[in-house]
Amino acid sequence: MSEGAVEIKNLVKTYVDDRGRPTFTAVKNINLHIDDGEFMVLVGPSGCGKSTTLRMVAGLEKVTSGTISIGDRVVNDLEPKDRGIAMVFQNYALYPHMTIFNNMAFGLQLAKQKKDYIQETVGRTAKALGLDTMLERKPQALSGGQRQRVALGRAIVRHPTVFLFDEPLSNLDAKMRVQMRSEISKLHVQLGSTMIYVTHDQVEAMTMGDRICVMRDGIIMQVADPLTLYRQPDNLFVAGFIGSPPMNLLKGKVEQREGGLTFVENGEKEKGAVTVPLKGAVQAAASKCVNKNVVFGIRPEHITDQATDGTHIPITSSVEISEPMGSESLVYLKAGSGPLIARIHGEHLFHLGQQLTVQLNLDKAALFDSETENVVR
Amino acid sequence: MTPARKLLLQKILAHSLLIAFIVIILSPFAMVVAASFRKGNFAPSKIFLTPQELSLEHWKFVLGIPYQEVVNPATGETRTIQAGSPPLGWFWNSIKVSAAATIGIILLSGTAAYAFSRIRFKFRRRILTGLLILQMFPAVLMLVAYHTILDDIGQTARWIGLNTHPGLILVYLGGISTNIWMIKGYFDTIPASMEESARIDGASHFQAFLRVLLPMSLPIFAVVFILSFIFFMTEYPIASVVLTNTDTYTLAVGANSFLGEQEKLWGRFAALAVLSGVPITVVFLLCQKFVIGGLVSGGVKE
Q: What chain B residue is nearest to A95 in terms of C-alpha separation? A: B299
Query: Is the domain of B204 the same as that of B247?
Result: yes
**How close does chain A come to B294, measured CA to CA in Å?**
9
> Considering chain A, what is the average pLDDT of its residues?
91
Give SS3 for A333: strand
Contact B160, B153 (CB under 8 A): yes
pLDDT at residue B295, as a whole number: 45
Taking contacts as CB-CB distances below 8 angstroms, the residues of chain A near B301 are: 91-92, 144, 147, 171
| Residues B130, B68 within the same domain | no
CA distance A324 to A327: 8
Check whether residue B77 and residue B93 sit in a common domain.
no
- Give the distance from residue A182's alpha carbon to the nearest chain B alpha carbon, in angstroms: 22
pLDDT on residue B294:
41
Angle between helices B177-189 and B124-136 (to 10 degrees): 130
**Of B81, B103, B119, which residue constitutes the final position of a domain?**
B81
A375-376, strands of its sheet edge to edge: A275-277, A260-265, A248-257, A293-298, A366-369, A375-376
Asked if B301 is an interface residue toward chain A (Cβ–Cβ < 8 A), one would say: yes
Flag if B298 and A144 touch (Cβ within 8 Å): no
- State the pLDDT at residue B134: 84
Please check whether residues B113 and B262 belong to one and the same domain: yes
Element (H, E) at B110: helix B87-118
Q: How far is CA B213 from the centre of its chain?
A: 26
B69 and B116 co-located in one domain = no
B61 and B91 assigned to the same domain = no
**A87–B301 C-beta distance less than 8 A:** no
Residues B76, B218 within the same domain: no
One domain for residues B13 and B159:
no
Strand order in the sheet with A65-70: A22-34, A6-16, A65-70, A73-74
Query: Other CB atoms closer than 10 Å to residue A36's CB: what's the count?
Result: 16
The answer to whether the beta carbons of residues A108 and A123 sit under 8 Å apart is no
> CB-based contact (8 Å) between B189 and chain A?
no
Range of the domain at B27: 3-81
A110-145 pLDDT tens trace: 999 999 999 999 999 999 999 999 999 999 899 888
CB contacts of B203 in chain A (<8 Å) are 81, 106, 110
| Single residue among B61, B81, B101 that ends a domain in this structure | B81
**What is the domain-level CATH number for residue B248?**
1.10.3720.10
A66-113: pLDDT as tens digits: 999 999 899 999 999 999 999 999 988 999 989 999 999 999 999 999
> What tens digit of pLDDT does each residue of A27-66 get?
999 999 999 999 999 999 998 999 999 999 999 999 999 9
Q: Are A339 and A294 in contact (CB under 8 A)?
A: no
Choose the final residue of a domain: B60, B81, B102: B81
Query: B97 and B76 share a domain?
Result: no
Q: Which helix (H) or strand (E) holds B23?
A: helix B3-36
**Which CA distances in Å does A219 have to A33, A54, A275?**
15, 14, 34
Same-domain pairing of B275 and B191: yes
User: For residues A42 and B145, is the Cβ–Cβ distance under 8 A?
Assistant: no
What is the tally of structural domains in chain B? Answer: 2
Q: Per residue of chain B (302 residues), give pLDDT as tens.
A: 788 999 999 999 999 999 999 999 999 999 999 988 988 877 788 888 888 888 888 888 888 888 887 777 777 777 877 776 678 889 999 999 999 999 999 999 999 999 999 888 888 889 999 988 888 888 778 889 999 999 999 999 989 989 999 999 999 998 888 899 999 999 998 888 998 999 999 998 889 888 999 888 888 898 899 889 999 999 999 999 999 888 889 988 988 888 887 888 888 888 888 988 888 899 888 887 777 654 444 455 54
Residue of A nearest to B205 (CA): A79
Whether this model's pTM surpasses 0.90: no
B72, B112: one domain: no
Q: Is the dihedral of CA B232, B238, B240, B245 positive or negative?
A: negative
Tell me how close the Cα of A192 comes to any Cα of chain B, in angstroms.
Answer: 21
Nearest CA in chain B to A81: B202
Does residue A97 sit at the B interface (CB-CB below 8 Å)? yes
**Cβ-contact A137, A149 below 8 angstroms:** no
Residues of B with CB below 8 A from A60's CB? Answer: 196, 199-200
Whether the CB-CB separation of A229 and A217 falls below 8 Å is answered with no
Task: Tell me the shortest Cα–Cα distance from A139 to chain B, in angstroms.
Answer: 5
In whole angstroms, give the CA distance from residue B295 to residue B288: 13
Q: Which of B43, B42, B16, B45 is nearest to B30 (CA)?
A: B45
The rounded distance, in Å, linking the Cα atoms of B141 and B61 is 35
CA distance A309 to chain B (A): 50
Same domain, B34 and B110: no
Among B193, B200, B211, most A C-beta atoms within 10 A, so best to mutate, is: B200
DSSP A150-161: HHHHHHHTT--S
Interface membership of B118 toward A (CB under 8 Å): no
